[in-house]
Amino acid sequence: MSLFKTTRKLLGLGFGIILAIAAYLSYQNREIFNPAVDAYWAFSNKTESPQRYEASVTGEVIKVLDGNWFHLKIPEGFVYAVRITGMEAPGIAITMDPSNPPLGNLCRTNLTELLLKKEVAVNVLEMNDLRYGQGFVYLNNTNVAQLVVGEGMARLNRQEILGLDFEEKYRLAQAERYALEQGLGVYQEGLEIDWTTIADPPEATTESEE
């Protein structure tokens, strides 16, 4: 066998070993590709037209009802019940562990600490005559769903965020990724949640409460 053929075989063998090692290391450290996966999802999943809103309002959060709903009082004095779009927190009765407070209560406490007596902006998607509605909520220009999902106090509803721009969708996906990898709150392994309990607001009133 000629020296050239031997060298070529050795180079081929070495290249194959390098590829195998690279593949193994990539698999062992596959989480490094997660940002690219989330970016691809945010870029490729979108609505045909930009997100449209009925209105944009600002006001003070005067009461938090659960991990999803709160009462918003606008400067004109009207009070609205708002569901935060883009996320879903478990109902009040959801229990995480017999030795711990119910997870639903923890979600409400978390949202209370985050929003109560704070001024927020709401891009309203819909609002009925009883002043119940939903929309994207922002605290200091940050999507509240991003903050809550990142702490595991709600799961991300990806279908509801498809109309947002790429950067915002990417940040929301990254928040979900972090909570999932850390096993936080609703993302902890083995936890079963009946998500049908979040369908309706927990209270049927929008009277002002100071």
Q: Would residue 209 count as lying in a domain? A: no
Q: Would residue 59 count as lying in a domain? A: yes
Whether 17 and 60 map to the same domain: the answer is no
- Distance, C-alpha 100 to centroid of its chain: 24
* Beta strand residue intervals within 24-175, DSSP E: 55-64, 69-73, 79-84, 87-88, 119-127, 132-139, 142-143, 155-156
Structural domain harbouring 10: 3-44
Residue 21 Cα distances to 9, 27, 28, 115, angstroms = 18, 10, 10, 49
Whether 10 and 102 map to the same domain: the answer is no
What's the pTM value of the predicted model, to 2 decimals? 0.78
Whether 189 and 163 map to the same domain: the answer is yes
Q: What pairs with residue 70 in β-bridges?
A: 64, 82
The set of residues, in sequence order, having a beta carbon less than 8 Å from that of 24 and lying 6+ positions away, is none
Name the nearest CA neighbour of 59 among 3, 2, 139.
Answer: 139
Whether 103 and 190 map to the same domain: the answer is yes
pLDDT at 209 over 60: no
Of 10-14, 179-183, 195-199, highest mean pLDDT? 179-183
Residue for token pair 């590709």: 33
**Least confidently predicted of 21-35, 58-72, 96-110, 132-146:** 21-35
CATH number of residue 80's parent domain: 2.40.50.90
Whether 37 and 60 map to the same domain: the answer is no
The set of residues, in sequence order, having a beta carbon less than 8 Å from that of 31 and lying 6+ positions away, is 181
